[in-house]
Structure 1
Amino acid sequence: MATTRAGNLLAAFSFVLWGLLPVYYQFLPAPDMPELLALRILCSVPTMLLVFWLLRRPMPNWRQVFKNKRSVAISGIAALIMSVSWCAFTWAIANGQVLAASLGFFINPLFAIALAVFILKERLSYAQGIAVCLGILGIAYQVWHYGELPWLALIMGSFFALYGLCKKYVEFDAMTSVTLENILLAPFALLFLIGDAIWGTPVALGGDSTTLLLYIGAAPVTLVPLIFFALALHRTSLTMVGLMQYIEPSLQFILAVLFFGEIFDNVKAVSFALIWGGLLFCSLEAIYALRKHRHHRNSGGNLPQV
C-alpha cells in the first residue's frame, strides 16, 4: 500500500511539473525551434547520465544495449517522432497557443485508442467507443466553425500516441530508452549547431548568456518530470497513471485562460466539453475496473464454495 501511495504521488508530481512547463517557456517568446531542439537533445545526454548517478542506478551496459538492433532502431524512430511532438508543443506554448497544447494532450488518449484498435487489434470497450465518437465530434465542431483543423493539437496528440506505440516494442527500461533516444540524435544535433554557428545566425549561441541558459535549461525541465514518471510506473498501476495524466492538460488549460489571457470562446467551450465528456466515460470505466480488481484481489480471487 505504501508503495502504491508513493507511486501515485510521484505520478501526480510529474504531471504537475509537465503542466507548469508553459510558465518556463514564457521566458522564451518565439524561440528558434531548430536551435532549441538541437540544444535540448545535446544537453539531455549529460542530464540523463547525471540522473543515473543521482539515483544510484547502474549505468546501462551500452555494448549490450546496441546489440539489440531492433530495439535500437525503434528507439531511433521514437526519438524522431518525439522531436516532432515536442517541437509542436514548445512552439505552441512559446507563441501564445497554450490552449492548443492543452487540447493536444486531451485528445492524445483518443489517438492512443485508435492505434490500439488498428495496429494492436484491440477491441474498443463501450466507454472507449463513446469517447472516440465524442472526440471526433469535438474536433469536427471546431472545423465547422473555424473552417480549419486544429493542426497543432492534432500533431501533438497523434505523434505522442505514435511515440507511446513505439515504446511498446522497445525492450529497454524507461530511463535507458530515453537516454538512448537522445544519444542517437545527439550527433545530428551537434552537426546542426556547428553548421548554424558557421553559416547561420544562431540565437542562443550568438546571443546573451541568459538566452543560452534558458535554451540549455529546456533539457532538464522536460526530463525531470519524465524521471518522476518513470519512477512512478514501477510503484503504481497503469490505470492510476492513466487517470492522473489529465492533470497536465488541465493545468495548461487553467494557465492559458486565467494567466495568459488566451481567448476561450463558445466554440472551444463546446469542443472541449465534448472531449471532456468522452474522457469522463473512460475514467469512470477505469475506476470501476480498478475497484473490481481490488475487490477480487482482497477476496482472494476464490470462487464461493458450494
Structure 2
Amino acid sequence: MHSSSVSHNSSSFKGNALAAFSFLLWGLMPLYYQFLPDANINELLAFRILFSVPFMALVFLLLGRRMPSISQLKSDKKSVVLCGLASLIMCVSWYSFTWAITHGQVLAASLGFFINPLFAIGLGVLFLGDKLTAAQKAAVVLGSCGISYMVYSYGELPWLALSMGGFFALYGLCKKFIRFDSLTSVTLEAIWLLPFATAYLIWLWSSDQSVAISSALSGEVSVLLLYIGTAPLTLLPLVFFALAIRATSLSMIGLMQYIEPSLHFLLAVLLFNEHFDHVKVVSFALIWTGLLLCSLEALPALKHSSRKALKR
C-alpha cells in the first residue's frame, strides 16, 4: 500500500507540474508576440499550420509513439471529420488571440480566457446534459453582469474576448466527441488545414506579398524564424497539457487553468501599460468572483478524490 501511495503521489506531482508548466507557457506567450507587432495574422496562421505537422511528427518520435495507421483512421471516420471541424473552430479562437496580443489588446486576451469556463459551462448544459451547481449558476450570472456592464459602458460588445472564449469552448466541446488521443487529434487538425496553408503561402510568395519571406530575402531572417517559431510555441504547451491529463485530475487542471489569463492580465497592466479603467475593474471583479465561487466549490471534491486515491 505504501509503495502504491508513493507512486500515486509521484504521478500526481508530475501531472500537476506538467499542467502548471503548460499554463505558464501559454500565459507568457504575449512576450514572444511583442517581437511581431502588427504582424500579418493570416500569414502567421499559415506558417503555424505548415510547421505544426513536422513539429508534431518530431514529438511522436521523441515520445516513442506511433500515429494511427490509415486503416485505424478509416475505422473512425467520424473522429477524423470532427478533427477537421475542430481545426476550423480553433483557427477563429487562435486568430482572435493572436490579433489581440500583437495589437496591444492583451487585456482582451485575458478576459477571453477568464470567461471561457462560463461558455464551457453553458455548452455543457446545452449539449451534454450537465446540471449546474449553485456556484456555477452564480458564476454565469456574475459573468453575464460583468460583460453587460462593459457593453453598457462602452456601447459595444467585447468581440475579441467573446470570440476567443466562445470558440475555444466550442473547440473543447468538439474534442469531447473525438476518440483519438490529444496528440493524434492535434496532428490531424494541422493535416486538415495543411493544403490550404501551403497554397496560401505559395500565393503570397508568388505575388510578392509575404512579409516573412520578403524579410528573409532582404537579409532579415529573424522575422521568418519568428513566424516559423509560432508552431512549436503554441504546440509545446499543448503537448505538456496532453501528458498532464494522464497523470492528474481534471479538477486540479480546472483550478490551474486560471494561471494563463492571470499572467496575461499581469503582463497587460504591469508590463505593457494597457489602460485598466473602472469599467474593466468592475467587469473583471464580477467575473473573478464567479470563478472564485466555482473554485471554492471544487476544492472539497478535489480533496476527497485525493484522499480516496491515497487509500487505494
**Shorter-chain-normalised TM-score: which range?**
over 0.9
Partner of 2:5: none
Q: What SS does the aligned partner of 1:172 have?
A: coil
For structure 2, which runs of at least 5 residues remain unmatched after alignment?
1-8
Partner of 2:6: none
**Pair 1:48-2:56 in alignment:** yes
CA distance in 1, matches of 2:56, 2:191: 10
**Pair 1:84-2:92 in alignment:** yes
Q: What SS does the aligned partner of 1:204 have?
A: helix
Normalised to the residue count of structure 2, the TM-score between the two structures is 0.94
CA distance in 2, matches of 1:294, 1:205: 52
CA distance in 1, matches of 2:82, 2:274: 38
Partner of 1:111: 119
CA distance in 1, matches of 2:310, 2:270: 44
**Pair 1:201-2:247 in alignment:** no
CA distance in 2, matches of 1:190, 1:63: 26
Deviation at 1:251, TM superposition (A): 0.5
CA distance in 2, matches of 1:217, 1:295: 42
Number of aligned positions between the proteins:
300
Deviation at 1:270, TM superposition (A): 0.6
Q: Which amino acid aligns with 2:210?
A: P
State the identity %.
61
Q: Which amino acid aligns with 2:278?
A: N
Match of 1:271 among 283, 297, 302: 283
**Pair 1:290-2:298 in alignment:** no
CA distance in 2, matches of 1:148, 1:200: 37
Deviation at 1:194, TM superposition (A): 1.1
**Pair 1:96-2:108 in alignment:** no
> Aligned in 2, Cα 1:66/1:42: closer, same or farther, shift over 3 Å?
farther
Match of 1:151 among 142, 159, 169: 159
Deviation at 1:207, TM superposition (A): 1.6
Q: 8 Å contact 2:208–2:214 — kept in the other structure? A: no
Match of 1:235 among 242, 247, 256: 247
Deviation at 1:181, TM superposition (A): 0.4
CA distance in 1, matches of 2:58, 2:14: 23
Runs of 4+ in 1 over 6 A off after TM superposition: none
**Pair 1:177-2:185 in alignment:** yes
Deviation at 1:211, TM superposition (A): 0.8
> Aligned in 2, Cα 1:123/1:39: closer, same or farther, shift over 3 Å?
same
Deviation at 1:296, TM superposition (A): 4.9
Normalised to the residue count of structure 1, the TM-score between the two structures is 0.95
Q: How does 1:27-66 map to 2 (within 5 A)?
A: 27-66=35-74
RMSD value over aligned CA atoms?
1.2
Q: What SS does the aligned partner of 2:242 have?
A: helix
Partner of 2:132: 124
> Aligned in 2, Cα 1:222/1:298: closer, same or farther, shift over 3 Å?
closer
Deviation at 1:199, TM superposition (A): 2.8
Deviation at 1:122, TM superposition (A): 1.1
